[in-house]
Structure 1
Amino acid sequence: MRSLANKQTVVAVRPDRETMTRQRLPYFTGISGDTAGSTGISMHMVVIPPGARAEPHSHAGYETAIYVLEGRVETRYGEDLAESVISEAGDFLFIPPSVPHEAINLSATEAARAIVARNDPAEQDRVVPYQKRMV
């Protein structure tokens, strides 16, 4: 952890390893409270392996903005994940606070990559697993 106690400075971060998230997807941690001393934002690169999907989840009390760099990703969202949107390279996606969702890489052969920004410097602390209702 980086301690920047009351010191304002510019911080450059080069991710040196992937981290498995609570969503069960690999992240390359960029900007966070731990890496840069940020107090209101985090920004990372997520990689969704070919054919993989995130565990259904929500982010308690904070927003998510996504920019897709490579690939095609279906995001199922809402109650019982009944709604869907497909994003591809060059698309932005906004997910409001506490909306359940899961991301699915639509390619069986190529990874999807995206930059993810959230208005929480320790966003993994408030990832909430989501269970669809049994019908």
Structure 2
Amino acid sequence: MPSHNTPSTPTVAAVRPDREVLTRQRLPYFVGISGETVGSRGLSMHMVVIPPGGVAAAHSHRGYETGIYVLEGSVETRYGPGLTERVVTSAGEFLFIPPDVPHQAINLSDSLPARAIVARNDPAEQENVVPYDPAQDEGSSTP
């Protein structure tokens, strides 16, 4: 990754992800564009791989949007209070997640990884990942 760039001096840069990192969502990311890698001020873009049968830790992204393009596989995303809503995206489809919406991604295949490109309007997006416990919203309407 370019080492000459700093957040105060962004420039045109090509990035080849050279290592896998484990995120707060407990999924392997291949880091691409971020404040750290190229000095981005308002964007991050990475590739995520959800292993066969893999499940992300439930979480939300404080104050920023997420756009996902599925390259391979099918992923069920559970979202909303208690993670009771569901949407399935497959290769060739986009998914939008608004700021602060709790969600959890699940690879629907037990034998093949799912791969996706993830873009966010936050150059340091891992710093704003908030763990989410669906139980906190269960029974919230009862006394």
TM normalised by structure 2 equals 0.90
Question: Which residue does the alignment assign to 1:14?
Answer: 16
Please name the residue that 1:122 is paired with: 124
Distance 1:2 1:23 in 2: 29
Aligned residues of 2:5 and 2:37 also touching (Cα < 8 A): no
Structure-2 residue corresponding to 1:82: 84
Confirm whether residue 92 of structure 1 aligns to residue 58 of structure 2: no
Q: Which runs of 5+ in 2 are unaligned?
A: none
SS in 2 for 1:94: strand
Q: Structure 2 vs 1, CA of residues 2 and 98 (structure 1 numbering), >3 Å: closer, same or farther?
A: farther
Contact 2:83 2:134 in 1 (8 A): yes
Shift of 1:132: 1.1
Runs of 4+ in 1 over 4 A off after TM superposition: none
The structural deviation recorded for 1:74 is 0.1
| Structure 1 portions without partners, runs of 5+ | none
SS in 2 for 1:80: helix
What is the Cα-based RMSD across aligned positions, in Å?
A: 1.3
For the pair shown, which has the larger CA radius of gyration, 1 or 2? 2
Deviations 1:83-109 (A, max 9, x none): 000000000000000000000000000
Superposed, which structure 2 residues align to 1:102-117 within 5 Å?
102-117=104-119
